[in-house]
Amino acid sequence: MCIQLSDCPNWQAAKSVTWRNLPAHWYITFFRSDNCVGSDGDVYSFSRDKATDGLHTFATPRGIKSIYARPSNGKISWSVHRKCVQLRLPVKRAESTLIDESGTNSSKVATGVVVSDLGDDISTNWFEPIED
């Protein structure tokens, strides 16, 4: 499957690339061209014998316009998907843990992650501790 990123005019050159849950015996290849064509993945290519997550940092930033994922053995039909994700900025992240020992032999622990984008469309109470 080829994923084209050429319709993302605001994207800058990548300092690194990352992938999650790449199946065993699959390749993932990053290209400068927008049609998954180049010699041996002209930006970066990766494969492993087991399912894995990964990260590769470039010596200098590289422009990436397409990504190709495929099994190393067997055939997969050729398909092209176009995907451009624009993150809304600024994003704030905070992690916290609350321990409440207000009662005898009682201990409540709540852990949460708060992500906000300064917008009004995200609920602000999803991280509150659940009452017993």
Neighbour tally for 96: CB within 10 Å: 10
The C-alpha atoms of residue 66 and residue 80 are separated, in whole angstroms, by: 10
Can you give the pLDDT at residue 129? 58
What does the mean pLDDT of the chain come to?
66
Each residue's pLDDT tens digit, 32-89: 888 887 765 556 777 778 888 888 888 888 888 888 888 877 666 655 555 555 545 5
Neighbour tally for 127: CB within 10 Å: 15
Can you give the pLDDT at residue 95? 45
For residue 92, is pLDDT > 60? no
Can you give the pLDDT at residue 59? 84
* Angle made by CA atoms 107, 105, 110, in degrees to the nearest 5: 5
For residue 23, is pLDDT > 80? yes
pTM above 0.85, yes or no: no
